[in-house]
Chains A and B, each alone.
Chain A
Amino acid sequence: MKISMALMVLILLATPLSGCLEQDAVVDECTVLPPGHDDDGTLRILTYDITALSEQVTDEFTNQTGIPVEMIKVDDAGGILDQMMLTKAAQQADLMIGLDNTYLPTAIENCLLQPHTTSAANLSASASVFYDGPLAVPFDQGDVCLNYDEDALSEANMSVPTHLSNLTEEEWKGKVAFPSPVSSSPGRAFLIASMEYFSHQSEGDAMAWWSAMIDNEAIITSGWTEAYETHYTGGYGEYTEGYIGDAWMTVSYCHSPGVEAYYSGNYTHSTSLMLDHAHFHQVEYTGIINGAAQAEGAQLFMDYLLSEEINVNMPENNLMYSVLEGYDLPETDGYRYHADVPDVVTTMSYEEINTNMDTWLESWKSATQQS
């Protein structure tokens, strides 16, 4: 019996299995694909856990259009891309909401989106500078940068860093938490920020800096939540379960201190590290999935999401900036006051990200593993 069991396992392990399944159909060109699922009149939206898409918001859409909405939620922006790639041969959703500009090039390159007709006339310049093509339209935006705990620095009599290389010094040992760019979209955004930052410095390079940060015991987490909530001392994390509080600096949005204040009666001891080019302007997009069965409904929802009625509420409902021209964060409870705005705009282009992202990720893994 023991021998037969072992044999069975060995056969399973040794058998080349690749011939068992034919390769999935490969789409060579970006033609509009036939529907990947039956059209039962329901609009299926593939998104992450976006708080702006509450039941009231989707119910209002249904009231206006008569189209029922079903949400398919994944973990984050990366999860949306994964899902679309995995179900490429038979897409199960009609509309994607939430791919950011670090993932959008991959989605477009893989023909995962189809053209839309939403008007981009009233979009702010910062929202449309990265991509203004026909396959996706921005719905919210914000800058990713380093946040630090003002109180912790003050108590330790430490000065605010003026260069990213300051973080490799002894006093910052084990006190910076980064979400991994491999598994987190803010982490990915900050990896790009670090590439941009060092491309504007006369010496040093990003990967050497990452390597030095690992040597200086930087904390790498799988996602933003773990970095900000579990490790960062400057945010709301200290009031949640599982808090460790060993990092005085982490990656978040430049306006996160404003969000902290908004929910804490205009009180926060977190602020952003405003170093030129050490930030990344993140834009989140929505687009019709190639293979949608309810392309018409998807188009209507895109228009709805870009309408003033919904989009100007992004700061309260999704903790991000609206993409519409002329709208800023609200002044309520110090939201606008505590939110920092970078002086210098992100220069990293769509083409650069599309060309280099995989290489950067591999280099980052090597740099952080070899240390």
Chain B
Amino acid sequence: MVGILEIGHSAIMRGSQTMRQTPRLTVRFILIFAYLTLASLPFILALVRLQVVTGHTPIEALWRFGDVYGASEALVFTLVEASASALLTVIIGLPIAWHLGRHEWRADTWYRALFAVPFVMPAIVAAMGFLLLIDDEGMLFALGIDLRTETGLIGELAERTGWQHPGHFIALVFAHAWFNLSLMIRFVEPTLARLDPAWEEQLGLLRQGQTRIGRIRHLWWPVVGPAVLCAASLSFLFSFTSFALVKWLTPFNNTLESLMAKSGGSAGIENYRVDTSEIVMSASIVQCLILLAALYLTATLQQRHSSRFSLISESGARATRGPPNWKGRLIVYSGIVFALAPMGAALLASFRVRHGAIGSGISYQWSSAGWSAAWSGDLATMGIGEALSHSLLYAVCTLCIALPTGWLLASTILALELQNRPKLAKALDVATLLPLAVSAVMVGLGVLLGILKWMPSLFQWDLLPVLPHVILTVPFVVRVMLPAMRAVEPKWDEQATVLNLSPIRSWYHGYFSFVRGPAVVASSLTVAFSMGEFGASWLLVRAGSWDTLSVVVDQLMSRPKFDPLVQPAAMAAASVLMLVTFVLFFLAERFRPEGDGGGF
């Protein structure tokens, strides 16, 4: 079967001749070189400065990792939580994807959009939502599952096993699974939806298809396995670099990223707090090496998934399986509740204001006072209207640069594949993912140092945060556009040319119209990620005054909350961010082609 899949894939590859519309190769490579330099320069600059401050070469820093304050504990915790999160994502996401893909749902586009939203939700909003869900007035607490103060069942678990703070760990892993749920849906569900039911029937007639294990081994694993592994490896990657969720949900533990974020402020300063520079240098190198390996694995798995996916292209197979049974409904509807719960909780909390009473403690009342305070900036933060305008401005600027850059990179990778230069194509494919392997703290520090060195006046340029946003969003554009470009049939372009259309119209009808959907999806992802970006701006904001909505949420949440309006105001700001992201992604989902299995 694998052989057939490979032949099918290479047939598509051979036929594809879409490169006529792209710029000349030399120009293309100059632009790509410029991007890769821009993407790697901040990391190199940060590394150089840290070497000057600590007096250690990168190899020495790697060697000294075990001696760095808190680094070993952070590495163990990061590996454990990322692995557990990836596993839980598969456990929760696979049944949902299975039932969503194998049955005809009346509102399947809406369901897919709903499951996709958590992935683009700013992590700080997700953190707030989960904190509310594990509150002592929540449903989980009523069921005896106290993840927050770890009493009852969870307390007993901690006592019997000696496992410290299992409740917080469980909350974090579930939050990561929530965040990454869409990866499983996006990779697995289209594969299942397009699989011809005849394959199952034919396998059922063979000896290998008589048992469930046999069917898994001979049909399901070869077909769905690469998609599951691809989603799991990406879940591992995103959980590994988690920062805001770790900061809020597991206050007793650090991931490498959160450890670096806590030390990042004073890192890179000569003759001052050398210990923090040592932490950031060692941790960033170890993190980069692990993530490079994970990214290589991801790129390999995604390529394998694309080749399998290209074979099973029987669109409409889902319809032949009919409506879902009660089990399918239960699983998918439960999944929807799981996806919506943290967001709903955050929205509700924005209207819930603490109210003090003499001698009798505290009560709550429903009020829009938090919204008023957040909107007007009465709590000495930027008003959410202004912060939102900053966020949107940065997001649009990021889009204007990231989309063409990502497009160019994806089309070049495809061109190299078509020219039968798979090694170079793979190298470039992995290189485009490099920014995901670099800590946001290092990107922020590197940009800060680079600008200080070469152009300090740039600090007064309001659009400076766009730079790290572009670096961090281009890899996502490439990941969305590349499979879409691979799927474009050359005959469509040829047919448009035969019609004697102008070059632009020919390009539009013969090529662009087939990648327009993924381009809109990539654009929405870019805007959503830019709006929710927290890590790099968290450091960069130290050198500017361009607060974004996600920064305002964090400022409010980090503030002493003696004043009862602080928390509802933070939730109001988080709700605005959430609603804008929500709308964006629903718009994007309308453009996503039916059965698109490109990944994100």
Contact surface of A with B, Cβ cutoff 8 Å: 1, 4-5, 9, 12-18, 20-21, 23-24, 36-38, 40, 44, 49-55, 70-75, 78-79, 81-83, 85-87, 89-90, 92, 106, 110, 183, 221-226, 228-230, 236-237, 239-246, 259-260, 262-267, 319, 365, 369
B430 within 8 A of A: yes
Q: Which residue of A lies closest to B358 (CB)?
A: A265
Contact of B148 among A15, A49, A242 (CB under 8 A): A242
Among residues of A, the one whose C-beta sits closest to the C-beta of B252 is A219
Chain B CB within 10 Å, residue with most, of A224, A226, A228, A244: A244
Q: How far does the alpha carbon of A239 sit from the alpha carbon of B562 in the complex, in Å?
A: 10
Judged by a CB distance under 8 angstroms, whether B272 is at the interface is yes
A5 near B427 with CB under 8 A, answer yes
Q: Most chain-A Cβ atoms within 10 A of its Cβ — which of B128, B248, B358, B426?
A: B358
Q: If A13-B59, A20-B48 touch, does A241 touch B131 (CB 8 Å cutoff)?
A: yes
Measured in the bound complex, the distance between the Cα atoms of B381 and A180 in whole Å is 26
A92 in contact with B251 (CB, 8 Å) = no
Q: Per a CB cutoff under 8 Å, which of B48, B265, B272 touches A79?
A: B265
Q: A79-B542, A263-B562 are in contact. Are A230 and B251 (CB under 8 A)?
A: yes
Select from chain A the residue with minimum beta-carbon distance to B52: A18
Q: Which chain B residue shows the least CB distance to A90?
A: B456
Q: Give the residue of B266, B383, B544 whose beta carbon is less than 8 angstroms from that of A78.
A: B266
How far is the CB of B352 from the nearest CB of chain A, in Å? Answer: 10
Per-residue A-contact encoding for B355-390, CB less than 8 Å = 1, 0 else: 011111110000000000000011111010000000
Whether, in the assembled complex, B9 has its beta carbon less than 8 Å from a beta carbon of chain A, the answer is no
Q: Find the A residue at minimum CB distance from B265.
A: A82
B369 to A: closest C-beta gap in Å: 14
A319:B541 contact, CB within 8 angstroms: no
Closest 8 CB pairs of A and B: A264-B356, A241-B131, A90-B456, A265-B356, A13-B58, A54-B380, A82-B266, A17-B48
Complex A-B: 19 CB contacts under 8 Å:
A17-B47, A17-B48, A21-B48, A21-B52, A51-B379, A51-B559, A78-B266, A82-B273, A86-B448, A90-B459, A92-B543, A221-B251, A225-B558, A237-B561, A242-B148, A243-B149, A264-B356, A266-B358, A267-B360
Is A85's CB under 8 angstroms from B378's CB?
no
Which residue of chain B is the closest to A334 with respect to CB atoms?
A: B358
CB-based nearest A residue for B131: A241
Q: Is the CB of B453 within 8 A of A21?
A: yes
Known: A85-B272, A86-B269, A244-B150. 7 other contacts (CB 8 A): A1-B426, A15-B57, A17-B48, A20-B48, A85-B269, A90-B456, A90-B459
Q: Which residues in A have their C-beta under 8 angstroms from that of B567?
A: 240-241
B531 on the interface (CB 8 Å rule)?
no
Q: Flag if A243 contacts B545 (CB, 8 Å).
A: no
Contact flags B26-49 to A (C-beta < 8 A → 1, else 0): 000000000000000000110111
Contact A263 to B559, CB < 8 A, known contacts A21-B49, A50-B380: no
Residues of A within 8 A of B52 (CB): 18, 21, 23
CB distance from A183 to the nearest CB of B (A): 6
Residues of A within 8 Å of B544, CB to CB, are: 72, 92
**Inside 8 A of B313's CB, which chain A residues have their CB?**
none
Q: Which residues of A contact B378 (CB under 8 A)?
A: 54
* Minimum C-beta distance from A84 to chain B (A): 10
Interface: B457 (CB within 8 A): yes
Chain A residues with Cβ under 8 A from B460's Cβ?
37-38, 40, 92
CA distance A55 to B373 in the complex (A): 12
Complex-state Cα separation, A355 to B251, whole angstroms: 33
Give the residue name and chain of the A residue nearest to B58 (CB): A13
Cβ contact within 8 Å between A228 and B251: no
CA distance A369 to B275 in the complex (A): 14
Q: B560 at the A/B interface (Cβ < 8 Å)?
A: yes
Q: Which residue of chain B lies nearest to A51 when distances are taken between CB atoms in the complex? A: B380
Q: How large is the interface on B (under 10, 10 to 19, 20 to 34, 35 or more residues)?
A: 35 or more
Tell me if B265 and A74 are in contact (CB < 8 A): yes
Contact between B562 and A236 (Cβ–Cβ < 8 Å)?
yes
B564 close to A (CB within 8 Å)? yes
Residue pair B59, A14 in contact (C-beta under 8 Å): yes
Contact of B268 among A38, A86, A183 (CB under 8 A): A86
B135 is an interface residue with CB less than 8 A from chain A: yes
Measured in the bound complex, the distance between the Cα atoms of B262 and A354 in whole Å is: 24
Closest CB in chain A relative to B221 CB, distance in Å: 26
B262 with A222: CB separation less than 8 A: yes
CB–CB B262/A38 < 8 A: no
Check if B501 is an interface residue, CB within 8 A of chain A.
Answer: no
Q: Does any Cβ of A come within 8 Å of B420's Cβ?
A: no
Q: Contact partner of B251 among A15, A54, A183, A226, CB < 8 A?
A: A226
- Bitwise, B453-493 to A at CB < 8 A (1) or not (0) is 10011011000000000000000000000000000000000
Q: Is the CB of B555 within 8 A of A365?
A: no
CB-based contact B545/A72 at 8 Å: yes
Known A51-B380, A73-B555, A74-B265; contact A262-B358, beta-carbon cutoff 8 A: no
CA–CA, A1 and B422, complex, Å: 10
- The answer to whether B589 has its CB under 8 Å from any CB of chain A is no
B201 on interface, CB distance cutoff 8 Å: no
Contacts of A20 in B (CB 8 A): 48
Chain B residue nearest to A46 in the complex (CB) = B542
* Least distance between A47 CB and chain B CB atoms (Å): 10
Residue of B nearest to A86 (CB): B269
Give which listed residue, A73, A81, A89, contacts B541 with CB less than 8 A. Answer: A73
B561 → A minimal CB distance (Å): 6
Tell me whether A52 and B44 are in contact (CB under 8 A).
no
Q: Please measure, in the bound complex, the distance between the C-alpha atom of A16 and the C-alpha atom of B44, giving whole angstroms.
A: 12
**Which of A5, A14, A36, A260 is within 8 Å of B58, CB to CB?**
A14
Cβ B362 vs Cβ A239 within 8 A: yes
The reply to whether A18 and B362 contact each other, CB–CB distance below 8 Å, is no
Nearest CB in chain B to that of A45: its residue? B545
CA separation between A221 and B48, bound complex, in Å?
31
The complex places the Cα of A1 from the Cα of B58 at a distance, in Å, of 23
The reply to whether the CB of B24 lies closer than 8 angstroms to some CB of chain A is no
Q: Which residues of A have CB within 8 Å of B381?
A: 49
Q: Which residue of A lies closest to B40 (CB)?
A: A12
Which residues between 275 and 289 of chain B lie within 8 Å of chain A, taking CB atoms?
275, 285, 289
B380's partner among A55, A222, A236, A259 (CB-CB below 8 A) is A55
| Cβ-defined contact, B452 with A72, below 8 A | no
Q: A18-B48, A246-B149 are in contact. Are A92 and B456 (CB under 8 A)?
A: yes
B271-307 CB contact bits vs A (8 Å, 1 = yes)? 0110100000000010001001000100000000000
Asked whether B456 lies within 8 Å of A24 as measured between CB atoms, the reply is no
Contact with A along B548-571 (1 / 0, CB 8 A): 000000010011111110010000
- Judge whether A72 and B62 touch: CB under 8 Å: no
Tell me, in angstroms, the Cα distance from A221 to B128 when the chains sit together.
Answer: 19
Give A263 to B354 CA distance when docked, in angstroms. Answer: 10
Indicate whether B547 reaches chain A with its CB closer than 8 angstroms: yes
Q: How far is the CB of B284 from chain A (nearest CB, A)?
A: 11
Residues of chain B with a CB closer than 8 A to A52's CB:
380
A5 to B269, CA, bound (A): 31
> CB distance A92 to B459 under 8 Å?
yes
Interchain CB contact under 8 A, A242 and B356? no
Known: A78-B265, A92-B543, A242-B148. A319 touches B48 (CB 8 A): no
Task: Give chain A residues whose Cβ lies under 8 Å from the Cβ of B541.
Answer: 72-73
A75 and B265 contacting across the interface, CB-CB below 8 Å: yes
